[in-house]
Amino acid sequence: MRRFLDGAPSVEIRLSSSLPARAEVAGRASFLARAVLNLLGNAARHARHEIHLTLSVVEEEAAPAGQGSSSSVLVLRVEDDGAGVSASLVPQLFEPLVRGERPGAAGLGLSSARWAVEQLGGRVLCCTGARLSGAAFELRVPLHVSAAAGEMVLPRQVLTGKKLVLIEDDAAVQEALSRLLRRLGAEVLTLPPAGVGEEEMLRQLLGALPDAVLLDLRLGRREGTELWRALRAQVPTLAERVIFLSALAPGDAAWDEAAATGQPLLAKPLDLAALASALLRVCPPAR
Rounded to whole angstroms, how far apart are CA atoms 141 and 223? Answer: 26
CA angle 93–95–99, rounded 5-degree value: 50
pLDDT of residue 109: 64
User: Which amino acid appears at position 225 of this protein?
Assistant: T
Interhelix angle 224-234/198-208, rounded to 10 degrees, is: 60
Residue pair 17/75 in contact by the 8 Å Cβ criterion: no
pLDDT in tens, 48-72: 888 988 888 887 765 444 444 456 7
The DSSP bridge pattern shows strands 212-216 and 144-145 to be unpaired
pLDDT of residue 153: 52
Spatial CB neighbours of 164, under 8 Å, sequence gap ≥ 6? 181, 186, 187, 188, 189, 210, 211, 212, 213, 214
Cα 275 from chain centroid (whole Å): 13
Residue pair 132/48 in contact by the 8 Å Cβ criterion: no
Place 163 in a pLDDT band, splitting at 50, 70 and 90.
very high
Spatial CB neighbours of 223, under 8 Å, sequence gap ≥ 6? 217, 254, 257
Higher pLDDT, 89 or 255: 255
pLDDT of residue 225: 93
Residue pair 38/113 in contact by the 8 Å Cβ criterion: yes
Task: Answer whether residue 85 shows pLDDT above 90.
Answer: no
Residue 261 CB neighbour total at 10 angstroms: 17
Ordered by where they begin, the domains of the chain are: 2-145 (3.30.565.10), 155-282 (3.40.50.2300)
Q: Once rounded to an integer, what is the mean pLDDT over residues 139-147? A: 72
Residue pair 124/75 in contact by the 8 Å Cβ criterion: no
Higher pLDDT, 274 or 148: 274
Q: Which H or E run contains 14? A: strand 12-17
pLDDT in tens, 176-235: 899 989 988 999 999 876 666 778 888 888 888 899 999 999 887 788 999 999 999 988
pLDDT of residue 103: 45
